[in-house]
Chain A
Amino acid sequence: MPAERRPEPALEPERTPRREPALELGRRPGLEPGRDRFRWSTAVYRRLLRAYPRPFRDRFADDMAEDFAALCDTETREAGPAAGRARAWRRALADLALSTLRERRLSRSRSARIANARHIGNAGAPGGHSFNGGFLMIAQEVRFAARRLRRTPGFALAALLTLGLGVGGTTAVFSVLQAVVLRPLPFPDPQRLVRLWELTPQGGNFSTSEPNFLDFRARLRTIEDLTAYRGIGMTLLGRGDAVRLQLTLVSHRFFALTGGAPALGRTFAEAEDRAGGDTRVIVLAHGSWQRRFGGDPAIVGQTIRLDDQPYAVIGVLPRTFDFPAETDGYVPLAASATSSRGNHMLRAIGRMRDSATLDEARADAVAVARALSAEYPVSNGGWGVRLDTFDNWMIGPQLRRTLLVLLGAAALLLVVACVNVANLVMVRATSRRKELAMQAALGAGRWRIVRGLLTESLLLASIGGALGTFLAYLAVPVLRRLAPAGTVPRLAEAAVDGTVLIVAIAISAAVGLCFGMLPALLQTRAMPQDWLRDSTGGSAGTGRHRVRELLMAGEIALAMMLLVGAALLVDSFRRLQTVDVGFDAANVFAVSVTVSGGPYAGCAPDTPGCDPAAAGRRRGQYFQEAQRRIASLPGVVAVGATNITPLAGDSTSQEVTIEGYVPNGPDDVPFIDWRIVSGGFFRAMSMPMVRGRTFTDADATASVPVVIVSAALATRYWPGQDPIGKRLSFGRNGTQWRTIVGVAHDMRDVRRDLDPQPIVYLSGTPGSLTLVVRTEGTIDGTASAIRRELQAIDGAIPIPLPEPLTRNLARTLAPARFSMLLMGLFAGVALVLAALGVYGVTAYGVALRTREIGVRLALGAEPGQMVRMILSRGLLLAVAGILTGSVGAFLLSGFLRSLLFETRPADLRSHALVAVILAGVAVVAIVIPARRASRIDPRQALIAE
């Protein structure tokens, strides 16, 4: 600024001293009183002006800063301080973006004639290092780097693919982790939300009953808004085909607790949630509102028919609200204090008061449970309570661990990719020795050359990162599909979003620095004269080659670790897959049918005009007719029914009194799974009877109720005896004895990875049964034929399309398959990268020693000897890598333990198998370049270079 004023005093030497101070005074407080307010903005703007070419900036920067301040002044006077500044900045930045590009382009074409001298000439110039030239310099640097990379497309492609795979894998897994684990749950203040379970006397988590829920709600002081809910299916009639809606019964504080504010209408009032009152109102979820009611806002206030009852639609929830997942609508629970305390159907959730800690809330709940135990010994004796956070309930430590293990695996793969690219970069940098030496000889400093190499690496990393992000974008939907709905919560929301993008960029930048810095520094450590000498075929290159060999061994070690992890998971998956579930799911269709409402409705015994026994008979008749009709279809071998679809994840269990068995205390009371099945069930499932007989039609009307027990139950309670004719009863002190008529083969119909549980089978007529149909081979159209037969019995009952039971079988394997496939994929990619790395390093080593090998061959060495020499060196490194990797895998395998089923983390067989595979791949990758070495023509080798 002083430089600008100088001409004036020179022209008018006399007046200047008088005017200067006056102007200074006038300018600051007077004429430009406000400009000082833009001090900071102007300072920032001045910085940005550095983007202009030097001559332009030198000439105009002061004026431009002054103009900018004036602009700020004008705009703030018009639009106020904040908006005015924003307007001034918007204008200035748009201008800056356009005009810097233009000026730089023009400035380049002005100096086009001296372009050739610029690259190296600038290098030594003092301005080259200053920040002022930064922007221009970087742009130029990137352009040169891009040009150099284009000259070696093979290298660039290999590096980009490697990086893309590494960054892509890590990013994809991170996006899943982010969606499932890291993102807060979609509830207000989620860390204060808790789930409450009752604990069975045996210590298992269990749902709560209506009276218990009401007591907990009234007595818990540390928890507010205790709410309960349970799922219920209802049939929607009068709108096209009858459809089954999956509804949730909730108590009225449910929406306040979970943050479900209605998008239309309202949610329940307290009066609508009272037992005995009119509770026939429904709040629709967004999805079913769209699907079933065409998104019609006028639906609010209308009445719809559910299970033959009119329900008033009072509200619609927003699309963002989906809890419990895939609910079609919500109806009031209206929990009753007079219903059975032993009927545990409800899930209870609540919010801890701000003043309470989780421990205090737990102690509070335990105290209430103890009191209830004492007050209601018949139903609650021995029962406890457990509280946990939503986080632990919904995501769970198992899933968290699985995802972290996978992220760790992805990170290992990323490191392998880095090492590989570092090797490539080093090989390439070495082949550019002469070019670099020339630059150094012309005066480019070490930093200048390092910067050039680093720019290339960062450019590669950016493009590779972009490629990786794109791969992740493609991979995330595949990951979502790998895990079927319901097995991984919130997986559907996994996407490459802003957070994931930032992480991907950070990963790419870090990767670029990692694989760029080391080679760049190593490469430029020696002096220029060394490089020039080196290029004539000396041995200085072998020192750096040792670093590459170490990297290669490290790469093998990392690949070994990933491969061992994958091998363990494959072994575990194989074991899980071959677990005998006890039944044959092949060629079995399953279809779940619910008959409810209308003539089938159960009712309180004192309701006028209702006969619960008659309704039960009608349900029984329906299912008998259904089985009769299906059995007559061509190709159908057997038909049965069960209340629990095998391997769908559901179960029913209850306390059982076993005649002659005296429990040792309350936690030894038999708590046993029960199933309602038809006589055909065992034949349809190919479950042979171990002893006795299956159910017959006569059992339904017989005066003595009979049951069938599983083999596990028989051996547990009647070891060494014949259980046929023994008796048991449901309930703790049951009196209605049921006689055992048969023992069935054990089955695992809930979880594959647990030992077969004791099961009691009984016959009955519930409203909801799953029909299981065994066919002979696969006949097209069987599923729809079954459906047609069922629809023919009663058109008002919705019938879903029967599904092969094998689908459930696959679903139980899904989590194990998910981790196995991902780990296998990472390990596979790591193996390929390691093979490429070994090949590259060996091939380069051979090239480096061409002369030496030529001399040896000329002196009479056998070509086979050369191959052995190179192979032994390479194998030594490979074995070192394998051993290191094996130790590393041993150390890390603890993390895998929870993912494994009947497989020890330190499984020697897996380690040995992987070691052999890896060594085999290494031998191939070494022998190919080694054989080439043996074919070197000694004369050529000696006269080369």
Chain B
Amino acid sequence: MADSRSPDTDPLTPAVFHVLVALAEGARHGYAIMQSVTETSGRAVGPGTVYGTLQRLEEAGLVEEVEARTAGEAGSAERRRYFAMTRKGRAALSAEARRVSRMADLVRARRLVSEGH
């Protein structure tokens, strides 16, 4: 379960990774996260997946709900829950990023993929 995860060692699931990526630039509401995840992962995700993931990230202390902001889309800002990354979340994301990057280096060093695709 999410709350037993130690952010420095365990790899993140793809859904978690992409949600954290979506929150890297700041607090966002569910729909924006959904669109961002769809874009970065290349897989169409729906609200249920997004909020489920958010809830588990929240339980693990990686994400928190923040006060609604009035900036941007004023109308919907009023009515939407916003989520932002905690310090722990940011640490987990960068740990994951380093891990992925190391793996990518490894793959390249062993010439498992051709350079420049």
Question: Do A and B originate from a single complex?
Answer: yes
- Given A56-B51, A103-B52, is A66 in contact with B76 using a C-beta cutoff of 8 Å? yes
Question: What's the interface size class on A, roughly?
Answer: 35 or more
Considering the complex, which residues of chain A in the window 50-70 have a beta carbon less than 8 Å from any beta carbon of chain B?
A: 52, 56, 59-60, 62-64, 66-68, 70
B55→A64 contact, CB < 8 A? no
Query: Which residues of chain A are near B31, meaning CB under 8 Å?
Result: 66-67, 70-71
- What 1/0 mask marks residues of chain A from 99 to 113 whose CB sits below 8 Å from any chain B CB? 110110010010000
Q: Please pick, from B35, B46, B74, B80, the residue contacting A99 in the complex, using a CB distance under 8 A.
A: B46
Closest beta carbon of chain B to A12's beta carbon, Å: 10
Closest beta carbon of chain A to B37's beta carbon, Å: 11
Q: Judge whether A98 is part of the interface by a CB distance below 8 angstroms.
A: yes
Closest residue of chain A to B35, judged by CB? A74
- What 1/0 mask marks residues of chain B from 25 to 46 whose CB sits below 8 Å from any chain A CB? 0000111001100000000111
Q: Judge whether B101 is part of the interface by a CB distance below 8 angstroms.
A: no
Closest residue of chain A to B81, judged by CB? A63
C-alpha gap A529/B72 in the complex (Å): 66
Considering the complex, which residues of chain A in the window 1-51 have a beta carbon less than 8 Å from any beta carbon of chain B?
A: 1, 4-5, 7-8, 23, 26-27, 30-32
A31→B47 contact, CB < 8 A? no
A91→B30 contact, CB < 8 A? no
Considering the complex, which residues of chain B in the window 55-89 have a beta carbon less than 8 Å from any beta carbon of chain A?
A: 55-56, 68, 73-76, 78-81
Considering the complex, which residues of chain A in the window 79-105 have a beta carbon less than 8 Å from any beta carbon of chain B?
A: 91-92, 94-96, 98-100, 102-103
C-alpha gap A99/B50 in the complex (Å): 9
Instruction: Tell me which of B31, B56, B74 has the highest count of chain A C-beta atoms within 10 A of its own C-beta.
Output: B31
Q: Judge whether B49 is part of the interface by a CB distance below 8 angstroms.
A: yes
A67→B34 contact, CB < 8 A? yes
Query: Which residues of chain A are near B30, meaning CB under 8 Å?
Result: 60, 63-64, 67
Q: Please pick, from A7, A23, A67, the residue contacting B47 in the complex, using a CB distance under 8 A.
A: A67
Q: Judge whether B48 is part of the interface by a CB distance below 8 angstroms.
A: yes
For the A-B complex, the count of residue pairs with Cβ-Cβ distances under 8 Å equals 86
Q: Please pick, from B45, B75, B79, the residue contacting A26 in the complex, using a CB distance under 8 A.
A: B75
Size of chain B's interface in residues, with CB distance under 8 A? Answer: 26
Closest beta carbon of chain A to B9's beta carbon, Å: 22
C-alpha gap A70/B1 in the complex (Å): 31
B51→A63 contact, CB < 8 A? yes
A66→B52 contact, CB < 8 A? no
Query: Which residues of chain A are near B34, meaning CB under 8 Å?
Result: 67, 71
Contact residues of B: prevailing secondary structure: helix
Query: Which residues of chain A are near B45, meaning CB under 8 Å?
Result: 91, 95
C-alpha gap A23/B68 in the complex (Å): 15
Closest residue of chain B to A26, judged by CB? B75
- Given A31-B75, A63-B30, is A98 in contact with B48 using a C-beta cutoff of 8 Å? yes
Query: Which residues of chain A are near B46, meaning CB under 8 Å?
Result: 71, 91-92, 94-96, 99
Q: Please pick, from A27, A59, A70, A100, the residue contacting B48 in the complex, using a CB distance under 8 A.
A: A100
Query: Which residues of chain B are near A26, meaning CB under 8 Å?
Result: 74-75
B75→A8 contact, CB < 8 A? no
Closest residue of chain A to B29, judged by CB? A63
- Given A63-B81, A99-B46, is A27 in contact with B75 using a C-beta cutoff of 8 Å? yes
- Given A8-B68, A23-B74, is A96 in contact with B48 using a C-beta cutoff of 8 Å? yes
C-alpha gap A68/B35 in the complex (Å): 12
B44→A91 contact, CB < 8 A? yes
Closest beta carbon of chain B to A454's beta carbon, Å: 31
B51→A64 contact, CB < 8 A? yes
Closest beta carbon of chain A to B49's beta carbon, Å: 5
Closest residue of chain A to B31, judged by CB? A67
- Given A91-B44, A99-B46, is A56 in contact with B75 using a C-beta cutoff of 8 Å? no
Instruction: Tell me which of B44, B48, B76 has the highest count of chain A C-beta atoms within 10 A of its own C-beta.
Output: B48
Query: Which residues of chain B are near A102, meaning CB under 8 Å?
Result: 52
Closest residue of chain A to B33, judged by CB? A67
Query: Which residues of chain A are near B74, meaning CB under 8 Å?
Result: 23, 26, 31
Closest residue of chain A to B50, judged by CB? A67
Closest beta carbon of chain B to A196's beta carbon, Å: 62
Query: Which residues of chain A are near B49, meaning CB under 8 Å?
Result: 95, 98-99
Closest beta carbon of chain A to B18's beta carbon, Å: 14
Closest beta carbon of chain B to A38's beta carbon, Å: 14
Query: Which residues of chain B are near A8, meaning CB under 8 Å?
Result: 68, 78
Closest beta carbon of chain B to A99's beta carbon, Å: 3
B48→A4 contact, CB < 8 A? no
Query: Which residues of chain A are near B50, meaning CB under 8 Å?
Result: 67
- Given A23-B75, A63-B30, A64-B30, is A52 in contact with B48 using a C-beta cutoff of 8 Å? yes
A31→B48 contact, CB < 8 A? no
Query: Which residues of chain A are near B47, meaning CB under 8 Å?
Result: 60, 63-64, 67-68, 71, 92, 95
Closest residue of chain B to A97, judged by CB? B48
C-alpha gap A8/B46 in the complex (Å): 28
Closest beta carbon of chain A to B54's beta carbon, Å: 9
- What 1/0 mask marks residues of chain B from 5 to 32 whose CB sits below 8 Å from any chain A CB? 0000000000000000000000001110
Instruction: Tell me which of B45, B46, B56 has the highest count of chain A C-beta atoms within 10 A of its own C-beta.
Output: B46
A31→B73 contact, CB < 8 A? yes
Closest residue of chain B to A87, judged by CB? B44
Closest beta carbon of chain B to A727's beta carbon, Å: 93
Q: Please pick, from B35, B56, B78, the residue contacting A5 in the complex, using a CB distance under 8 A.
A: B78
Closest beta carbon of chain B to A314's beta carbon, Å: 53
Closest beta carbon of chain B to A444's beta carbon, Å: 32
A23→B48 contact, CB < 8 A? no
Closest residue of chain B to A55, judged by CB? B55
Q: Please pick, from A1, A23, A60, A98, the residue contacting B51 in the complex, using a CB distance under 8 A.
A: A60
Closest beta carbon of chain B to A28's beta carbon, Å: 9
C-alpha gap A30/B68 in the complex (Å): 21
Query: Which residues of chain A are near B51, meaning CB under 8 Å?
Result: 56, 59-60, 63-64
Instruction: Tell me which of B29, B45, B52 has the highest count of chain A C-beta atoms within 10 A of its own C-beta.
Output: B52
Q: Please pick, from B55, B68, B73, B79, the residue contacting A56 in the complex, using a CB distance under 8 A.
A: B55
C-alpha gap A98/B29 in the complex (Å): 22
- What 1/0 mask marks residues of chain A from 134 to 172 whose CB sits below 8 Å from any chain B CB? 000000000000000000000000000000000000000
- Given A63-B30, A64-B47, A99-B46, is A56 in contact with B76 using a C-beta cutoff of 8 Å? no
Closest beta carbon of chain B to A23's beta carbon, Å: 6
Query: Which residues of chain A are near B79, meaning CB under 8 Å?
Result: 1, 4-5, 62, 66
Instruction: Tell me which of B29, B56, B78 has the highest count of chain A C-beta atoms within 10 A of its own C-beta.
Output: B78
A103→B48 contact, CB < 8 A? yes
A56→B78 contact, CB < 8 A? no
Closest beta carbon of chain B to A751's beta carbon, Å: 68
Query: Which residues of chain B are near A64, meaning CB under 8 Å?
Result: 30, 47-48, 51
Give 9 closest A-B pairs by Cβ, nearest first. A95-B46, A99-B48, A64-B47, A67-B31, A31-B75, A60-B51, A27-B75, A67-B47, A95-B48
Interface pairs (17), CB distance under 8 Å? A5-B79, A8-B68, A26-B75, A31-B73, A31-B74, A56-B52, A63-B30, A63-B51, A67-B30, A67-B50, A68-B47, A91-B45, A95-B46, A95-B48, A96-B46, A98-B49, A99-B49
Chain A contact residues, CB within 8 Å of chain B:
1, 4-5, 7-8, 23, 26-27, 30-32, 52, 56, 59-60, 62-64, 66-68, 70-71, 74, 91-92, 94-96, 98-100, 102-103, 106, 109
Q: A60-B55, A92-B47 are in contact. List 19 more A-B contacts (CB 8 A).
A: A7-B68, A23-B74, A30-B75, A56-B52, A56-B55, A59-B55, A63-B30, A63-B47, A63-B51, A64-B51, A67-B30, A67-B31, A67-B34, A74-B35, A91-B45, A91-B46, A98-B49, A99-B49, A106-B56
